[in-house]
Amino acid sequence: MTTTIFAPILPADLDWQGDIPVARDYDDPYFSRQDGIAESRYVFLNGNRLPERFSTLSSGQLFVVGETGFGTGLNCLLAAQCFLQTAPPQAHLHLVSVEKHPLTLKDMRTALAHWPELASLANALLTEYPPATPGQHRLKLHPRISLTLLYGEAEQCWSLFQHPVDAWFLDGFAPACNPDMWQPALFAEMARLSRPGTTLATFTAAGFVRRGLQESGFVMNKNKGFGHKRHMLTGEIPHGSPASCPADSPSVIVVGAGLAGATTARALAERGCKVTVMDPDGIAQHASGNLAGVVYSTPSAHLTPQNRFYQQSYSHALRWLARQAFPRDKSDGQLNGVVQHYVDDKQQEKLTQALETGAWPSSLLIAQGEHAAELVGGGYLRPARWCQHLLDHDNIRIEKISVTAVHEGQPATVTLDNGQSRHADAIVLCTAANTTTLPGLQWLPLKLIRGQVSYCQATEASRLWQQAQCHGGYLTPALDDLHCVGATFDLHNDSPVTSEKDDQANLAQLERYLPRLWLELGGQQINIVDRRVAFRCQSLDFLPLCGPLPVATENPHRPATGLYLNLAHGSRGITGTPLCADLIADLICKHPLPVDQQLVDALAPERFIVRKRKKQSGWTP
């Protein structure tokens, strides 16, 4: 696994000189004082011959642009505009850009107001603009245009990126102002991600830049610069080939219609795949079937792969929900923040450090007095309605049928309980712990954790509650005039039968941590109307299993052709599944991935086989 160390992100410190943003740290403007749009088009779009190359793309073809300095997003927005004006209607554009010090949302809004002709794309960017947290952030500017923002040092970010790039915008503050970026190591990463025919363009003509790029494999040319600048550089990896062209949209079978299956199916369908969802019990009938679930995370100052997944999946889920306009109304839930009450000094210290270090910026986490913090943008919703909403798509078909076996190959195959077989280009198992009942998959390191939630009758006082509350358990505002109080956490009970004892445990925990709300709910007279038992599926290291299914044979590193897993989301299913769904969909469709290689490794199902082999060989980390 990659061992890159991530650090909190510091936003840009700007000096607004009229309507021109200037970076104080680099004493350089973000775009030309003369004409920012004209310079960007001249240098980056025309320097990479993008209008011509976009116009010659074929249906379904993918074009990837890489950029070394996002800044105000001007270059990316202009590339997106050019793509929509010149590319055929079924082509796709993926923009990938790095930024060490992202602008705040307020500053970004001010900067983009400078260009009303880009308003439509700029508004899409502002709507999805991510918080200042390290790593990759996937945004959608248009149904055919994705933007992946990489927050951090350019060289580090690109070293964790794997997809080939077709054109480079080598942008950033001038080499004299920002020498740390314009280094041979960055040029080498650009060359690694390039292929024959990949081009680059940059506003600078500095000799050491030209020589460094030449040494990395680019054939460089000096061209007339824009405006008062004498020269600029363009380059190309020789022996050109066309942009990447994934195969026609694959057919996919998704097994399971809970949160993991519904998000996976939707992510694939939006990429043009024909998806069949198979589940003998229908939509959201197991752990995804509770009346309410909470969209939340567990903030930490320590940016380990596990904690970065919790952070990145949280903001990613919020973008998904906003994009899908869900919740549609209060009957679906609300995204108005989640209050996390400190249950002990250790948790208080953990969240305080997350705030004070900047690992979790105020756009995601704010203090709520001395005894709680609020997860900004989180909330509660009905998981079953969310699943139904996601599965309502023309490219998705749902079948109530049981899968008894899966087989790798091209195509991949499922065997059904009626003895028939079905084939698809890919199969994704979103079947939680039931995955281990399939032949050959008993080795998966999964555990079941029983949880019982209590549905309590709302009172006159409790009907005024607006925000979900997390403590040792959780408490949601009323849906159907019922509050969810839960949930027990029992590793040693496999009974599906509800129990009065578990109800009392839920209420005792509520009384202990939130006594005022316990009283408003009725205190000793709380009316428990119903309850529900479900089993959380969790891995041994608390991260989901998301990626190709490895084969537990003599060659455990060989992925099973066409078979993928998306499971073991534990109690964070609403939060974690959208990011994992995009990861699975991009793996299948051969698009740039939404997470960096460190998180790809951390989520890969084969990590447990690798660890087992190392343990058996006596290797210790």
pLDDT of residue 620: 40
Burial class (CB in 10 A: 0-12, 13-18, 19+), 164: middle
Query: Does residue 581 contact residue 547 with C-beta atoms inside 8 Å?
Result: no
State the residue for tokens 């906003």.
322
Strand partners, 567: 545
pLDDT digit string (tens) for 312-330? 999 999 999 999 999 999 9
Residue appearing with tokens 């080598």:
170
Residue where the block lists tokens 């941590």: 513
Whole-angstrom distance, CA of residue 182 vs CA of residue 474: 49
The per-residue b/e assignment along 219-229, b for 16 or more CB within 10 angstroms, e otherwise, is ebeeeebbeeb
Half-sphere exposure of 14 (CA within 13 A, CB side): 24
pLDDT level of residue 3 (50, 70, 90 thresholds): low
Report residue 559's pLDDT band, with 50, 70 and 90 as the boundaries. low
Question: Are 84 and 44 contacting, i.e. CB atoms less than 8 angstroms apart?
Answer: no
Amino acid occupying residue 73: G
pLDDT tens digits, 105-120: 999 999 999 999 999 9
Q: What is the side-by-side order of every strand in the sheet holding 426-429?
A: 396-399, 274-278, 251-255, 426-429, 559-567, 545-550
CB 381 within 8 A of CB 295: yes
How does pLDDT run across 435-467, given as a tens digit for each residue? 999 999 999 999 999 999 999 999 999 999 999
**Predicted confidence (pLDDT) per residue in 365-401, tens digit:** 999 999 999 999 999 999 999 999 999 999 999 999 9
CA distance 98 to 571: 32
Q: For 186-226, write each residue's pLDDT tens digit.
A: 999 999 999 999 999 999 999 999 999 999 999 999 999 99
Q: Which of 499, 128, 116, 526 is nearest to 320 (CA)?
A: 128
Per-residue pLDDT averaged across 498-505, rounded? 96
Asked if the model's pLDDT at residue 29 lies above 90, the reply is no
User: In this model, does residue 568 exceed pLDDT 80?
Assistant: yes
* Residue 4 reports pLDDT greater than 90: no
Angle, alpha carbons 583-586-592 (nearest 5°): 100
Amino acid at 63: F
What residues form DSSP beta bridges with 474?
A: 470, 486
For tokens 């940016």, what's the residue?
A: 303
pLDDT band (50, 70, 90) for residue 177: confident
**32 pLDDT tier (thresholds 50, 70, 90):** confident
From 145, 410, 436, select the one nearest 271 (Cα to Cα): 145
Instruction: Identify the band that residue 613 occupies on the pLDDT scale cut at 50, 70 and 90.
Output: low
Identify the CA nearest to 166 among candidates 143, 140, 200: 200
Distance CA 240, CA 236 (A): 8
Two tokens, residue 388 = 């139904």
d(CA 594, CA 160): 12
Q: Cα separation of 513 and 132, whole Å?
A: 32
Lowest mean pLDDT among 22-26, 39-43, 68-72, 329-333: 22-26
Q: Quick: pLDDT tens for 339-351.
A: 999 999 999 999 9
pLDDT digits (tens, 9 = 90+) for 65-86: 999 999 999 999 999 999 999 9
Per-residue pLDDT tens digits for 285-302: 988 889 999 999 999 999
| pLDDT higher than 90, residue 561 | no
Mean pLDDT of the chain, nearest integer: 93
Where b means 16+ CB within 10 Å and e means fewer, 402-417 reads bbeebbbeebbbbbbe
Q: Both tokens of residue 485? A: 């109080």
Taking residues 528-550, what's their average pLDDT?
Answer: 95
Residues 6+ apart with CB under 8 A from 280: 400, 401, 402, 417
Half-sphere exposure of 127 (CA within 13 A, CB side): 17
Position 366 scores a pLDDT of 98
pLDDT reported for residue 174: 83
Residue 618 has pLDDT above 90, yes or no: no
The H helix count followed by the E strand count for the chain is: 17, 31
- State the pLDDT at residue 25: 87
Q: DSSP of 186-234, one letter per residue?
A: HHHHHHHT--TT-EEEES---HHHHHHHHHHT-EEEEEE-STT--EEEE
Q: What is the pLDDT of residue 400?
A: 97
Q: How far apart are CA 327 and CA 147, in angstroms?
A: 24
Q: For residues 230-252, b (16+ Cβ closer than 10 Å) or e, as one string?
A: eebbbbbbeeeeebbebeebbbb
The kind and range of the H/E element at 503 are helix 500-513
Do the Cβ atoms of 133 and 315 come closer than 8 Å? yes
Q: Which domains does the chain have, with CATH numbers?
A: 14-236 (3.40.50.150), 251-285+385-445+540-616 (3.50.50.60)
pLDDT 10s digits, 145-169: 999 999 999 999 999 999 999 999 9
